[in-house]
Amino acid sequence: MLVQIPDVLTPEQVREVRRIIDAGEWVDGNMTSGAQAARAKRNQQLDEKSATTAKAQGIIYDALQQSPGFISAVLPLKVYPPLFNRYQGGESFGNHVDNAIRPLPGKEDRIRTDVSTTLFLCEPDEYEGGELLIDDTYGTHSVKLPAGHAVIYPSTSLHRVAAVTEGARVASFFWTQSMVRDDTQRALLYELDQSIQSLYQTQPDAPEIVRLTGIYHNLIRQWAEV
């Protein structure tokens, strides 16, 4: 399931995150790459162990907890601390699939990467190229969103970032272990939740809302791992 989530960050939050990270220390993006990705990856990342990164991560964490769209689509159990990357001067990231398991920084715990997220931190007209290209059974999806908007997609997806030929593409990216491992089940729950919310907006007293909400939560009971 590929879902675009608008306004995860407000314009003010985008400006604050950019103010923080633009002044930070940027290093070779392969600092966090596996062997496969390192062969295809040419970009820069903010040093993930720095205080600058931690400050920007806090803003995004808080925003995710306030984003109904993200919660509905992802059903998060564990979120990997958001990372930050920058592409410029022809940099790109070739075809790859994200690692299935990642150790959580500073902890003994690990995260299973069910859902990948890219949160855009600059406007599309600030750079040329840089599209996130995601392959699925329906073809290739090209994603280039306004600042503050995010896209989520299964971490099993083959994907890539096209070369940035002008300007700079700045984004945050991270992975989530969902309470519901199966992407098809998550998609069904998301569509059901969106239908409930739509019905509530037009017919808030409809008895079907209670019935459908019960079905939604009972499906989560059947499928969730917590």
Annotated binding-site members = 96, 98, 159, 169
Binding residues for Fe cation are 96, 98, 159
Q: How far apart are alpha carbons 145 and 31 in whole angstroms?
A: 26
